[in-house]
Amino acid sequence: MSESALTGLKVIDLTRVLGGPYCTQILSDHGAEVIKVEPPQGDETRDWGPPFKDGLSAYFSGVNRNKRSLALDLSREEGRAVLFRMLEGADVVIENFKTGTLEKWGLGYEEVLKERYPRLIHCRITGFGADGPFGGLPGYDAVIQAWAGLISVNGSQDSGPMRLGIPLVDLGTGLYAAIGILAAVAERARSGKGQFLDVTLYDCGFALMHPHAPNFFMSDKAPKLTGNAHPNISPYDLYDTKGRKLFIGSGNDRQFRWLCAELGKPELAEDPRFKTNPDRVVNRDELTAELQALLADYDGEEIATRLIKAGVPAGAALTVPDVAEHPHTLHREMVVEKDGYKGTGIPVKMSRTPGTVKAKPPLFGQHSRAVLADFGFAEAEIDGLVADGVVLEERRG
């Protein structure tokens, strides 16, 4: 197999929990060497379970494959000295410490790292950034979902505002961070210089508010809760069938005509109430009643397959086990297994330099000695760091 796209890129990952680890797993999937530097207590998601298997939680395992773990006490000067030596050979450092922590430890970008490592790309993930009215405050996915407006547009009139069922802000921030790092790597190839990346959950959360923010900017009207329906498109909703629920997302008039024909009532597309998308949005309730009556005798998965093959966007509401076992999931290699580890596959398929799952998620401090040896530490030095509690091989309570 050819090398992966990011082979040769060395990343020092000081992050914990989700946004940062999700970012660095993307990089490691595509060949970057990611060294996960954990605090003495370990990444707290190691304890986020059940389920657990082979000493690892599912939560931790989901975002930490293809990495090596070094346990290092950065609160001590000796630990920071180890990190300085590692940064000499690194391309990227990514961290999500509370604002001001690295500066207090003498590891600030502007004060120290920029001059000492001019090619280093330093990515910082925080909740709200260092300044402004909320500057320095901690950020958590659900909290930012609330502050950034995501909760306000999720749910129905009956349910009221609801948290999204996935940690979209953390995951989205991880994606934005990965994009930013790769952009900085590309720019460094021209300038020869590193730079500082300021990535916040708050900014990323609000940036994800499409189409609700654009709708507000144009109309000056606050978005309303629409449940599964779409504020700008109809039909775009979840419908009952005699089997699984069915989602239809008909985005244009042609698709709507095809939908009506497949459901055996082509004349519905010529009804003045439903002829164009603006008409259908205005008359959403009437259209929902018509479609619900037509779908009552269909099996959701069967009609969804038929509709999508006919060009109508439609999907059966599958569960996670359903998706994991679906033939198309398996065909796309979106379930991977490695040495007892099982996880989601690599979504970006590159033709010449494919990503790969090379190693399952690491145990705490599993690679501490090997990593330090790779960075030129002598065996006696490593023994001393372990004996002094600067480098750890077991978690500290």
> Phi, psi (5° rounding) for residue 56?
-125, 145
Residue type, 277: N
Q: Is 170 one of the annotated active-site residues of the chain? A: yes
Task: Report the chain's C-alpha Rg in angstroms.
Answer: 25
What burial class does residue 381 get, using C-beta atoms within 10 Å of its C-beta: 0-12 exposed, 13-18 middle, 19+ buried?
Answer: middle
Q: Using a CB cutoff of 8 Å and minimum separation of 24, what contacts does 249-256 make?
A: 249/313, 249/314, 249/315, 250/312, 250/313, 251/277, 251/313, 252/277, 253/277, 255/311, 255/312, 255/313, 256/280
Using CA atoms, how far apart are residues 97 and 208, in angstroms rounded to an integer?
A: 23
Q: Which of 170, 198, 285, 322 is catalytic?
A: 170
| Residue indicated by tokens 């040896």 | 373
| Residue indicated by tokens 């900014």 | 203
Of 189, 291, 205, give the one whose Cα is nearest residue 248. 291
Helix (H, G, I), strand (E, B), or coil: what is residue 196?
A: strand
For residues 233 and 250, the answer to whether their CB atoms sit within 8 Å is yes
Return the active site residues.
Answer: 170
